[in-house]
């Protein structure tokens, strides 16, 4: 969080008087600048607003999201990293992609960079070259490389440069939930007492026993869940209860996890959130069954029947599809926090140099961008700094008497009109002033006065 006012220095006065100090005589620091408050969870409505702001294409971007998480899982298994590193990397991957469109960054580059950041956050440190080499060997098993190969020089620098922008995107908020540990403990409560001491089952799904299938399905479902946006919307307890209940429905077991654990977890989750999580998983299994671990073990018709049953329960209990959905809210993009500027990223399948890239500017570049975790403390600091940093103006009216000036004279009038020479000379130059010389004669032009002199008539002297 930002430093408190007690640790800040007093601003320069430049010879002007300042406002009185607070009661505790704490000096006020410089202008706070821009503050971005980190949020651990995002509602479905806010999530859709953010996706709409980046022109999210559902079919294409869902495919990139699933492939990116699958790449993280494959590289994690190749490097023998723990499951908590996978959870952290997948959440960072989702938070980055909901801020920037897929046209600006290649999903493989972002997936590998988030795994690199997650290794540091979870203290399972791996070099960027190790991660890139493992991804290359998985992509090209017939052309295996070592991390010291010069081929990974440029991609390694790019991954390190992308690390800073991932940290800005997540707001330096490293809070991540790990549902697998709680899931194993609660799943063992549902199996017979004689099987509770067994280790995690290995082997083909069809060769496992009922208790082993329950534990195996629940664990695989916890990995498939990270291919959706559920981990950034729900708590760990909500995800565990949804996994257990959905596993029981898929296996047609007569157990009710949410009822069995209701007395132990009061007021810690909402049943509507559990239904929302279950339907999000069923949308994944019915739409992309081949890209999941659980969807391949069941027929599509059975998955559709389970989804229909969940919808019937949702309708019978009068729950909405998404918890906390507001129909009156205007569908506008989420502009509550400043969007960090992004780095250059090749929009190709590789991270080689010389590729085209797209740069994105920060929404507001005035002031210093800070990342705050306590929203209440940030509001108090902003209000305290506003007393000294905001400019206040006072409007008042003043009556002023203005002197009325004389109207300007016509430039065509000559001041020497009283004299004969001035009168004649002034109108002689103005040949279109017909009013003076037109005295009833046939010829209105003033040159006709010379003709009157020739006839002996009266002339103008």
Tell me the pLDDT tens digit for each residue of 63-81.
999 999 999 999 999 999 9
Per-residue pLDDT band at 47 (split at 50, 70, 90)? confident
| pLDDT computed for residue 46 by the predictor | 86
* Domain assignment present for 419: no
Looking at the fold, whether 72 and 155 belong to one and the same domain comes out as yes
Summarize the confidence of residues 257-273 as an average pLDDT: 65
Please indicate, yes or no, whether residues 230 and 113 belong to a single structural domain of this protein.
no
- 279 shares a domain with 153: no
pLDDT at 62 over 50: yes
Q: Report pLDDT digits (tens) over 306-345.
A: 999 999 998 998 888 888 787 777 554 444 333 333 333 4
- Does 337 map to a domain? no
Choose one of 283, 299, 316: the last residue of a domain: 316
Domain's final residue, options 127, 147, 176: 176
Q: Would the pTM of this model clear 0.75, i.e. be above it?
A: no
* Overall average pLDDT of the 251-271 stretch: 64
Q: Which domain holds residue 134?
A: 35-176
Predicted confidence at residue 266, as pLDDT, reads 54
Residue 74 sits in the same domain as residue 132:
yes
Residue 326 within a domain: no
Does residue 57 lie within any of the structural domains?
yes
Q: Which of 200-204, 209-213, 355-359 is predicted least confidently?
A: 355-359
Which of 176, 195, 214 corresponds to the end of one domain? Answer: 176
Asked whether residue 131 falls in the same domain as residue 160, the answer is yes
Domain assignment of residue 170, yes or no? yes
83 and 134, same domain (yes or no)? yes
If one counts every other C-beta atom within 10 angstroms of the C-beta of residue 272, the result is 19
Q: What is the residue-averaged pLDDT of the chain?
A: 74
The reply to whether 155 and 51 lie within a common domain is yes
| 50 within domain boundaries | yes
Total domain count for the chain? Answer: 2
More reliable by pLDDT, 254 or 433: 254
Judgement on whether residues 85 and 39 belong to the same structural domain of the protein: yes
* Model pLDDT for residues 216-250, shown as the tens digit of each residue: 888 999 999 999 999 999 999 899 999 998 998 88
Q: What is the pLDDT of residue 131?
A: 93
Q: Looking at the structure, do residues 162 and 197 belong to the same domain, yes or no? A: no
Report percent pLDDT > 90 for the chain. Answer: 26
- Asked if 132 and 216 sit in the same domain, the reply is no
200-214, 255-269, 372-386, range with the lowest pLDDT? 255-269
**Predicted confidence band of residue 363 (pLDDT cuts 50, 70, 90):** very low
Which CATH number fits the domain that encloses residue 145? 1.10.472.10
Say if residue 171 is in the same domain as residue 222: no
- 89 in any annotated domain: yes
The answer on 194 and 133 residing in a single domain is no
Please check whether residue 331 lies inside any domain of the structure: no
Mean pLDDT calculated for residue range 166-188 = 86
Return the pLDDT at 91.
94
Average pLDDT estimate for 45-73: 89
Per-residue pLDDT averaged across 199-210, rounded?
Answer: 63
> pLDDT tens across 430-450, in order?
444 444 444 445 555 455 454
């Amino acid at each position: 969080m930002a430093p408190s006012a007690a640790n800040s220095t007093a601003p320069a006065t430049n010879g002007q008087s300042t406002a009185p100090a607070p009661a505790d005589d704490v000096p006020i620091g410089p202008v706070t600048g821009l503050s971005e408050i980190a949020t651990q969870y995002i509602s479905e409505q806010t999530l859709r607003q953010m996706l709409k702001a980046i022109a999210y294409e559902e079919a294409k971007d869902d495919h990139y999201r699933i492939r990116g998480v699958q790449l993280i899982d494959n590289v994690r298994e190749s490097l023998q990293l723990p499951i908590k590193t996978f959870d952290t990397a997948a959440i960072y991957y989702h938070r980055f992609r909901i801020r920037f469109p897929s046209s600006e960054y290649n999903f493989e580059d972002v997936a590998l960079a988030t795994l690199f950041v997650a290794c540091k956050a979870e203290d399972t440190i791996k070099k960027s070259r190790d991660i890139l080499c493992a991804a290359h060997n998985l992509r090209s098993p017939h052309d295996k490389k070592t991390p010291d190969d010069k081929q990974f020089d440029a991609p390694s620098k790019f991954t390190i440069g992308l690390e800073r922008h991932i940290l800005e995107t997540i707001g330096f908020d490293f809070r991540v939930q790990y549902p697998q540990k709680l899931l194993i403990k609660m799943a063992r409560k549902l199996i017979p007492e004689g099987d509770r001491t067994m280790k995690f089952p290995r082997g083909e799904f069809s060769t496992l026993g009922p208790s082993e299938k329950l534990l195996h399905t629940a664990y695989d479902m916890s990995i498939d869940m990270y291919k959706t946006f559920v981990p950034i919307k729900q708590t760990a307890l909500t995800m565990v209860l949804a996994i257990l209940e959905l596993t029981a429905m898929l296996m047609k077991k007569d157990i009710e996890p949410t009822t069995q654990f209701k007395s132990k977890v009061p007021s810690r989750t909402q049943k509507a959130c559990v239904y929302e999580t279950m339907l999000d998983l069923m949308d994944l299994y019915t739409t992309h069954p081949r890209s999941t671990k659980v969807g391949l073990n069941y027929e599509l018709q059975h998955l559709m029947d389970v989804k229909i049953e969940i919808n019937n329960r949702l309708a019978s209990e009068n729950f909405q599809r998404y918890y906390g959905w507001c129909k009156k809210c205007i569908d506008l993009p989420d502009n509550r926090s400043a969007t960090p500027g992004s780095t250059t990223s090749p929009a190709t399948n590789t991270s080689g140099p010389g590729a085209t890239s797209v740069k994105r500017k920060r929404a507001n570049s005035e002031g210093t961008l800070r990342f705050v975790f306590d929203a209440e403390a940030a509001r108090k600091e902003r209000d305290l700094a506003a007393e000294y940093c905001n400019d206040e103006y006072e409007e008042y009216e003043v009556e002023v008497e203005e002197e009325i000036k004389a109207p300007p004279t016509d430039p065509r009038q000559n001041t020497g009109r009283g004299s004969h020479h001035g009168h004649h000379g002034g109108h002689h130059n103005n040949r279109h002033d017909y009013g003076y010389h037109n005295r009833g004669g046939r010829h209105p032009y003033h040159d006709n006065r010379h003709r009157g002199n020739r006839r002996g008539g009266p002339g103008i002297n």
